[in-house]
Amino acid sequence: MRHSPPETSPGSARSPAHGNCRARRPAGTALHRHRDRHCGGGRMTYPSVLPTGSTSLEKALEQVAAGLLDIDVLIRALWSPQDCPYDLLPWLGWGVSIDLWDANWTEPQKRAAIADAIAFQRRKGTPVSLRTVLDRFDPLIRLVEWFEDRDTLDPFSFRLELPLLADSGVLYNENLVAQILRDIAQVKPVRAHMLAVFKLRARAEVALVAAGNLAGLSRVTAAADVTAATDPAWNNYLQTETGEPIIDGAGAWLEVA
């Protein structure tokens, strides 16, 4: 962090012959706390710590590096989710090791994700972290763990039940489903395997007629839970023997040729 020079004391020496001024920084252990700054004609110079045999280039680079200490940069603000400039938020997100980042997020969403980064890493691999990711897409997505449905789920597996458009207002196309699965793969336990299905509920209305005239009206409501096989999006990607997608170095899933 930049250290501001103290006010010139009444006893500070001034040389009228050369018109130069010297402001000595307070004593400290760091080298830059001991340096003296000489100003004359608008140019700042700093005492050299290089050996006498140093080249002109080395001495010039030393002066440039020393001058960087006077640049007013608020390091604390750069590491603050609330005060960091918007253009630097992706770098701050990378600096705090955010696993999930979307350039299309709004500014409040990006700042909230950065602010929650450390706490999210502590919850990573738990149902709470999975729920947090799912809520970003649709709070109505249901997470069913294997011990909640032992008849259809293997141990250490879980199922994502995606609601219908009429219920949640979210259209689950192939791209959205793939994005959900990619984000879940980043935070789920390594030993756990996932299955994404659509849970459908159908309603039917039947009218009784005779001789072309309406004889009566009755409503028959039927509910059917149709658990489809693994979402078709899975068939587009290479998978391991355990059914997990194969991810390249950039974090993208490898597609089937």
Residue with tokens 């979210």: 170
Reference 114, options 132, 136, 130, 90; nearest CA is: 90
pLDDT digits (tens, 9 = 90+) for 14-48: 444 444 444 444 443 344 444 444 444 455 678 88
Residues in a beta bridge with 21: 14, 39
pLDDT surpassing 90 at residue 87: yes
Q: What is the pLDDT of residue 249?
A: 59
Identify the DSSP state of 241. T
Cβ–Cβ < 8 Å for 83, 73: no
Is the pTM higher than 0.85? The answer reads: no
Count of Cβ atoms closer than 10 Å to residue 32 Cβ: 14
Res 145 pLDDT > 60: yes
DSSP 8-class letter at 68: G
Through-space distance between the first and last CA atoms of the chain, rounded to whole angstroms = 52
Going from N- to C-terminal start, the domains of the chain cover 15-70, 79-123, 131-257
Strand partners, 194: 158
Contacting residues for 145 by C-beta, under 8 A, at least 6 apart: 127, 153, 158
pLDDT digits (tens, 9 = 90+) for 222-257: 444 444 444 445 566 666 655 666 666 566 666 766
Rounded to an integer, what distance in angstroms lies between the CA atom of residue 170 and that of residue 141? 10
Q: Using an 8 Å Cβ cutoff, are 164 and 188 in contact? A: no
